[in-house]
A and B are shown apart, each in its own frame.
Chain A
Amino acid sequence: MRFLSDRRLLLVSRLVLGIVFIYASYDKALNPLAFAQIIHNYRIMPPSLINISAIILPWIELLAGVLIIVGLRVRGANLILGGLLVFYIALLSVTAIRGININCGCFSTSASVRTNLVVDTIRDVVFLIFALHILLFYRPPKRSRAIG
């Protein structure tokens, strides 16, 4: 299992997670109204929190995605992205169980794009594996030793 701590392998996980979240945040950040509509469609959020969530969530995803790629505060960014994935997995599962047919809004804010919530959930579980890899094996480089 030593290979899991390999820095190149960890870099791959960071790149995958970062690119996925930057890509996911792009459309939502550009179209906050459409994203608010998607959140509303989940029928789970108090109305007063819908707009503020649509305004801030894409930027948190974008910031954490950029940080995890460039290697700044990687473990903190990974906590955010991993936490979001756990939240999305729970949300998508509950929505699928409730029998609500909607676009998940994961990568596109177009409500008429066809998505299958079960497939979306499984995809998020796969992304979560990358986050767990970083959580368990990433150690920040020790700068002081490198200088010494």
Chain B
Amino acid sequence: MIIPCRFRLTLSRLEFILSAMKSLRDAILILIVGALIGIAVNTVRNSTSAKGLAWDTPWPDNRQKRELELPPSYQPGDSLLSLEEAYGIYLRGNAIFIDSREPYEYEEDHIKGAINLPFEQWDTYWESVRPMLDPRKEIVAYCGGLDCELSLFLARELKQLGYEHSYIFFGGWQKWNDAGLPVEKSEGSHEISQ
């Protein structure tokens, strides 16, 4: 059958709209079926074991919060230190303070006597930092402000490696600096050969 050109154009446009609508319909269908499977699995899990998730947990609303008292990923077992506690350990002079920020931040200013182990570059720095650590000593990991969780992850990693006395001084650098406690600079003093 011969179809005039302008009708053919309209037909292909119609075909396109129909196909787009079908894709959209399929997508909505997948959303609904996927959601139902999730809900069904969770219901079964909740009724058979503790592996499921409660339908509603009273999560604290942290959307507007720029500063948190607890790290967002805080878990029971994480050993947190307040400024006073961290300073107390510092004064005893036997602990190792680890700055988990990037080297350029560390070089600019850091807690006096702290060493740099940038958590984001763990593999590069770990071997050179390890000889400076002692599993019997207290280790205090700190990071920039209350938005930074690198100290938390660093302390957890160290604990797993056997450094049991690893503590998290959450928001450490900001609190320490604001309190006017001892700091120092180092320019390029911590270069790592790869």
From residue 115 to 157 of chain B, which have CB atoms closer than 8 A to chain A?
119-120, 122, 143, 147-150, 152-153, 156-157
* Nearest CB on A from B65, distance (A): 7
A75 touches B22 (CB 8 A): yes
Q: A50 touches which one: B59, B65, B75 (CB < 8 A)? A: B59
Grouping DSSP codes into helix (H, G, I), strand (E, B) and loop, the B interface class, with mixed when no group exceeds half, is: helix
CA distance in complex: A100, B19 (Å): 41
- A62 close to B (CB within 8 Å): yes
- A71 close to B (CB within 8 Å): no
B65 touches A51 (CB 8 A): no
CA distance in complex: A98, B22 (Å): 38
Interfacial chain B residues near A47, Cβ < 8 Å: 58-61
Interfacial chain B residues near A99, Cβ < 8 Å: 147
From residue 17 to 69 of chain A, which have CB atoms closer than 8 A to chain B?
29, 32-33, 36-37, 40-41, 43-48, 50-52, 54-64, 67
Interfacial chain B residues near A8, Cβ < 8 Å: none
- B84 close to A (CB within 8 Å): no
A51 touches B39 (CB 8 A): no
In the complex, which range does the number of interface residues on chain A fall in?
Answer: 35 or more
B119 touches A114 (CB 8 A): yes
Interface size on B (CB < 8 Å)?
47
From residue 74 to 128 of chain A, which have CB atoms closer than 8 A to chain B?
75-80, 83, 98-103, 111-112, 114, 116
Grouping DSSP codes into helix (H, G, I), strand (E, B) and loop, the A interface class, with mixed when no group exceeds half, is: helix
* Nearest CB on A from B168, distance (A): 12
CA distance in complex: A32, B27 (Å): 23
B56 touches A101 (CB 8 A): no
- B192 close to A (CB within 8 Å): no
B34 touches A76 (CB 8 A): no
A54 touches B53 (CB 8 A): yes
Binding site for A on B (CB under 8 A): 19, 22-31, 33-35, 37-39, 41-42, 52-63, 65, 72-73, 75, 119-120, 122, 143, 147-150, 152-153, 156-157
